[in-house]
Amino acid sequence: MTTLVDRTDTLTRDALAVLQPGFVGTTAPDWLLRRIGEGLSSVGLFGRNIVSPGQLTALTARLRAEREDVLVAIDEEGGDVTRLEVRTGSSFPGNYALGSVDDVELTRAVAAELGRRLAACGVDLNWAPSADINSNPSNPVIGVRSFGPDPALVARHTAAYVHGLQSAGVAACTKHFPGHGDTAIDSHHALPRIDVELATLHSRELRPFREAVSAGSKSVMSAHILLPALDPDRPATLSPRILTGLLRQELGYDGLIVTDGMEMQAISAVHGIERGSVLAIAAGADAICVGGGLADEDTVLRLRDALVTAVRRGELPEERLADAAARVRALADWTRGARGAASGPGAASQEGTAPGAEIGLTAARRAVRVTVGRYPREPLTTAPYVAAFTPVANIAVGDETPWGVAAELARLFPGTETGAYADAAVDDVLLAAGGRRVVAVVRDAHRHPWMSQSLDALVAARPDTIVVEMGLNAAPPRGALHVATHGAARVCGVAAAEAVTGT
């Protein structure tokens, strides 16, 4: 006979099981280990938690020493969004670069190598790939995280990425369902809205997710966006019509549904994270991602208690919470089997120690596009002045990861100097450059009028200026040489430096 104590214990464990919290530090705090022992089934890792592959391997081993089946998740898209290499820049170009090459076997190989490195460090769930279609070039949060603007291209590369990542034993998490590409607001700050007809959503936004489901993506992440054609009242993360009706029933998806970060303002500013989490589980989500900004024990306990209370009050069916927890545990079982089929944690986890380690640089080189201007092209042969026009990074990318070409040009040409600019200070650039040739490095110049004005003025004053665009290549080419890298990963900077020097 089930007692009240037994039911309470089950509810508490199920409520802990559906949470994917983060924490602060490079070692697991005591409170996290304690909660894992009590039933917490997932842990999310961010750049603040990672110093090196060896440290990460030790961290994941410590988590699993508490319980073998804990899911260790990470937001490692490669390209501009990296956690493994947050301090140096990624060894892999991101989706936009891969989409520009449009070689699905290359995408699969890049994802497989990235997955191998994650698996070697003990990570088994990756919140990637982004299957969003970049239909709005002014989108402030997706941009180069998308494979491109064409639904068919995005669909085939999403499927290839899922296959590659999961071939290494790491579960993919295709995001942000049902598509975040046609938004003009960052959901970290407010609730975006996509006002298009249902037919457009099916032919455009949903196409990559259908491919991801067919490819066997082990998880899908919901978006905090309002799509009135699907649900005029609730954002996707909180919508039964979207998560259960569309994703589960219409698309036939049976894997884990993970929410985007519940502390993001699109949800927390309207509902609060406790109420938002209850609504998300009730709508059909199985795991609550929280910890990018809130990363403490109090948050975990508040969410656990909110879910248990909602069940007791009849606001959340007990069977729905149990089903969500079961899906988390089922994915954990899959990852345990996948880890067992791969080499043990720590094997070949350092860059360059396994076959395929150069695939990232190869892909970045293939993604570079060079346009020669009217000024005669002359390769860079002496130490230049690198002017980096730096926009504010979105929260998903972060501002702690270095980007640009200055480091690589300084390696090739000792004496290279650089300056960072956040407004139209062309006179300052010319003064600092002196007689040196100028390499102007930009990121999404089309979205920042001050950046476009700076480039126009700089090229007018110095026609031999080389322009390197490391964001969306959506503005007209400028300069004697215009180099589009289709992303700002470290390897994209290396490929750009090779292009401007002719090496």
Domain that holds residue 488: 368-501
Integer Cα distance of 497 and 482 in angstroms: 12
Strand pairing report for 417-421 and 369-372: unpaired
φ, ψ (nearest 5 deg) of residue 102: 60, 50
Domain total in the chain: 2
Quickly count helices (H) and strands (E) in the chain: 18, 14
For residue 4, is it within any domain?
A: no
Calpha distance 302→263 (Å, rounded): 13
Name the active-site residue from 188, 224, 271, 448: 188
Whether 165 and 112 have beta carbons less than 8 Å apart is answered as yes
Both 181 and 324 in one domain: the answer is: yes
DSSP-assigned beta bridge partners for residue 418: 386
Q: What is the pLDDT of residue 347?
A: 39
Q: Is 189 helix (H, G, I), strand (E, B) or coil?
A: coil
What CATH number should be reported for the domain holding residue 414? 3.40.50
Provide the phi-psi class of 409: left if phi over 0, else alpha when psi is between -120 and 50, else beta: alpha
Pick the closest to residue 38 from 72, 13, 4 (CA basis): 13
| From 260, 286, 482, 486, the catalytic residue | 260
Q: Examine the domain organization and report whether 332 and 383 are in the same domain.
A: no
Q: What residues contact residue 299 under an 8 Å CB cut-off, 6+ apart?
A: 21, 273, 290, 291
CA dist., res. 130 & res. 144, Å (int): 10
Rounded distance between C-alpha atoms, residue 162 and residue 238, angstroms: 25
Q: Is residue 57 one of the residues assigned to a domain? A: yes
Residues 409, 468: one domain? yes
Instruction: DSSP for 360-413, please give it.
Output: HHHHHHHH-EEEE-SSPP----S--EEEEE-PPPPTTT-SSS--SSHHHHHHHS
Looking at residue 335, its amino acid is: T
In this structure, the answer to whether residues 453 and 307 fall within a common structural domain is no
Beta strands in 178-217 (DSSP E): none
Q: Same domain, yes or no, for 376 and 336?
A: no
Residue 354 domain-assigned? no
Residue 387 sits in the same domain as residue 332: no
134 and 96 housed in the same domain:
yes
H/E element, 306: helix 297-312
- Tell me, yes or no, whether 395 and 263 share the same domain: no
Distance of CA 416 to the CA centre of its chain: 32
Same domain, 191 and 287: yes
Of 343, 358, 391, at which residue does a domain stop? 343
CB 70 within 8 A of CB 63: yes
Averages of pLDDT over each 10 residues, the chain, 503 residues: 66 97 96 97 96 97 95 96 94 98 98 97 97 90 94 98 97 96 80 92 97 98 95 97 98 97 88 96 97 86 97 97 98 87 45 62 97 78 94 69 93 94 88 95 93 94 95 92 96 96 83
355 assigned to some structural domain: no
Is residue 350 a part of any domain in this protein? no
Instruction: Verify whether residue 224 is a known catalytic residue.
Output: no
My answer on whether 310 and 441 are in the same domain is no
422 lies in some domain = yes
Query: CATH number, domain at 116?
Result: 3.20.20.300
> Is 5 contained in some domain?
no
In-domain check, residue 287: yes
Are 148 and 198 contained in the same domain?
A: yes
Burial level of 382, CB count in 10 A (0-12/13-18/19+)?
A: exposed
Are 273 and 405 found together in one domain? no
